[in-house]
Amino acid sequence: MNEKLVLREAEREGILTKNALFSSGVIIAPAVAACKDFYSGVILASVFTVVTFITVILCRFVPRKIVYTVRIILYTLVASLVYVPVHLFFASGEILSEMYAAVGIYAPLLITNSLITLRTESKFYRLSLPYMASLVSFYIIGYDLSLIVFGTLRGFLTSGIILGVKVLPFSIPALSNTYGGFILLAIISAAFRWFIEIISGAYSSRRDSI
């Protein structure tokens, strides 16, 4: 396969077919409980991006001779240390700190996300470094986009307002609750799967022709 096609495969896997939130259903808690609007989506996505990318790349160099148990503890420890400057950055800005405080413990909880604790060992570290880096990036982009779309849609449906303008004639305030988050996630996830099914057919036939 040529390099462009390999990258396209990684992009498709990370963003679409194995999208962490909508397809695989992992790292659900921050989305359901804390991602209530566009801003909280951006804050969570930023924390997730920095913590996950740096941790996965750094921990790639942890010797495989170390037993699995200790390796996993090291990965999570590295993630918790990477989280410290991220926390300081968000907690220091006046506007940022308010939005950051609103996501509560869900930001530090991202240090045990399954891309770090499970996918590193089961997938990422079995690949070459350049391909792994691009695949991890696409997984992160996929999750970030999902969080932001989910948060924006949730905020919009909760208030009926977008960019300060009342657009919807109704609002569903219950969606801001945890149960509302679960229900909305289920609906978006089903719609996403349906969309993937449709484009998968088109993609396969196009790939066969290359």
Partner 1 sequence: MAAFLEILLSALTAVTLENVILTSAIGTSTLIECAKKPHQLLSFGAFITEFSVLSSLLAFFAEKLLKNETARLFLPSIYVLSLGLVYVLTLLVIWFGARKYFRKLKKYVHLSAFNCAVLGCLFNNGLSGAELPQRLLYAAEVGIGFILAAYILAINYEKLSSDKVPAAFRGFPLSVLYIGIISMIVYSLKI
What does the binding site for partner 1 look like in residue numbers (CB under 8 A)?
24-29, 32-33, 68-70, 72-73, 76-77, 79-81, 83-84, 87-88, 105, 108-109, 111-112, 114, 117, 177-183, 185-187, 189-191, 193-194, 197
Closer CB to partner 1, residue 134 or residue 177? Answer: 177
Closer CB to partner 1, residue 5 or residue 179? Answer: 179
User: From the CB of 208, what's the least distance to partner 1, in Å?
Assistant: 23
Closer CB to partner 1, residue 25 or residue 130? Answer: 25
CA pseudo-torsion sign 31, 99, 92, 148: positive
Q: How many residues does the chain have?
A: 210
Closer CB to partner 1, residue 112 or residue 134? Answer: 112
Burial of 120 (0-12, 13-18, 19+ CB in 10 A): buried
User: From the CB of 113, what's the least distance to partner 1, in Å?
Assistant: 8
User: From the CB of 59, what's the least distance to partner 1, in Å?
Assistant: 13
Burial of 135 (0-12, 13-18, 19+ CB in 10 A): buried
**Rounded Cα gap, residues 94 and 128, in angstroms:** 42
The H or E element spanning position 166 is strand 165-166
